[in-house]
Amino acid sequence: MHLFKSEADVETKFVYDYLLKEVLKIPVGQISFHVPVKFNQGHERKTKEADVLVKDEFGNNFFVIDSKAPNQNLETFFGQIDSYAFSLETPLSILTNGNRLIVRIYQEGNKKTVLLDKLVEELKKENFSSLISIFSNVELAKKNEIESVKEKSAKKIDKPKVINYRRTFRNIHNKIRSIDKLDPSASFDEFSKVLFIKIINDELPRAEQLTIQKIKNMEVLRHQKDFIDSWFEEKVQDYYPGIFASNEKVNLSPEALMEVLNQLNENFELKDSFTDVKGRAFEEFLPSQLRGKGLGQFFTPRTVVDFMVSLAEISFNDKVLDFASGSGGFLIKAFSEKKKLIEELPPVFLEALGKTKEDLEEEAKTQIFGIDAEPRAVRTAKMNMLLWEMVSKFNMVMAYLPRITLEKTIW
């Protein structure tokens, strides 16, 4: 390797002679130099030149390279290389000063992420394996993608029956109110507890579940209540600690609880293919029951949430924190954006990362954080996130910040 003295040195001796020819082994016919790029700057239409444009073997623009002098800070040129990539419609870009090399990936919706950022000396020690894995096997990845699309279009897809979860939630809430005469806020609290009972039941073997028959077997009302409360306290602390107080009880009559469990068993399954349907139904149901007087909060309209999250330009590996998370609307939208970006990642990039889409989605669940001053809002947000399958056992990332003591407790 040479010691580079200027930007021209980096472009010719490192990028062309070494990186493209020796490392990536790009055929000469796929490489273009000093490619004009037109873009808007204010009211003016300007033209600049991208140092290198590389096409794939199908003739599509594949990646653009911008070379900088060895002493220049690459972060200051992200805007420039991004404008080249978006204008030339390349999924990748390389920014390098001969000492350091950065690969950026571009996705729909003006999303961009650093996929690789290493010193050239580090890359040399690994024989550029992490870089090569990103750019190699492109033809195979494209062929696989084309074949996958063909297979999907050839298959007959049966449209699943969509369950009206919103109606189910509303019917259960009304049933609690009518049987036990609770006010809307209290009814919602008990509704949340029963949903957690259902979710935990689905995790347990039949012998450990809280079932209608077990409650009926205890003919004495007091024994029924004691059994329900002890089961709830034990299992909630085992599976979802911190959501309810350690001595929390189910403030429903056994009659109401059995009626609600029966309805949930008939109409509700947590682990089905209707995650989005359940999540949206819960969000729609929630404000109608607890707007204003219930949680003491007003919920940000979905259109505003969508707009603000889009402004944030969240990457699939970003951490997200909402300091006033309420029912979790912003967190859920942020997670949905992460899932969408992960789904759009081509196989070649997953191979470069050494991870599957499922791995990245599980990581995304650990990157979403929320804080709220209202304990009921925190419980509601956690239920909301559970229905969107954003969390799993012991992975409740919300926090409650008490209004008076300002002492944070992480759950």
What pLDDT does 293 receive?
Answer: 47
Q: Cβ(305)–Cβ(329) under 8 Å? A: yes
Tokens of 70: 């060895």
What pLDDT does 158 receive?
Answer: 44
| Separation CA 292–CA 28 (nearest Å) | 66
- pLDDT tens per residue across span 242-286: 677 777 889 999 999 999 888 888 766 655 545 555 666 676 666
Using DSSP bridges, classify how beta strands 409-410 and 92-96 pair: parallel, antiparallel or unpaired.
unpaired
Q: Cβ(119)–Cβ(99) under 8 Å? A: yes
Q: Which residue has the tokens 């003919």?
A: 219
More confident: 400 or 271: 271
Report yes or no on whether pTM surpasses 0.75.
no
Quickly list DSSP for 129-181. Answer: HHHHHHHTTHHHHHHHHHHHHHHHHHSPPPPPPPP-HHHHHHHHHHHHHHHH-
Instruction: Report CA Rg, the chain.
Output: 28
| Separation CA 377–CA 380 (nearest Å) | 5
Percent of the chain with pLDDT over 70: 76
More confident: 125 or 391: 125
Choose the most confident range, by mean pLDDT, from 119-123, 205-209, 346-350.
119-123
174 C-beta neighbours (distance < 10 Å), count: 12
- pLDDT tens per residue across span 50-92: 999 998 877 888 899 999 999 999 999 998 998 898 888 888 8
CB-side exposure of 358: number of CA atoms within 13 Å? Answer: 0
DSSP 381: H
Is residue 403 over pLDDT 50?
Answer: no
Give the dihedral sign, CA 218/220/223/228. positive
What pLDDT does 139 receive?
Answer: 46
Across the strands, what pairs with 36? 49
Residues in the chain: 411
Q: Cα 41 from chain centroid? A: 33
What pLDDT does 396 receive?
Answer: 41
Q: Cβ(399)–Cβ(371) under 8 Å? A: yes
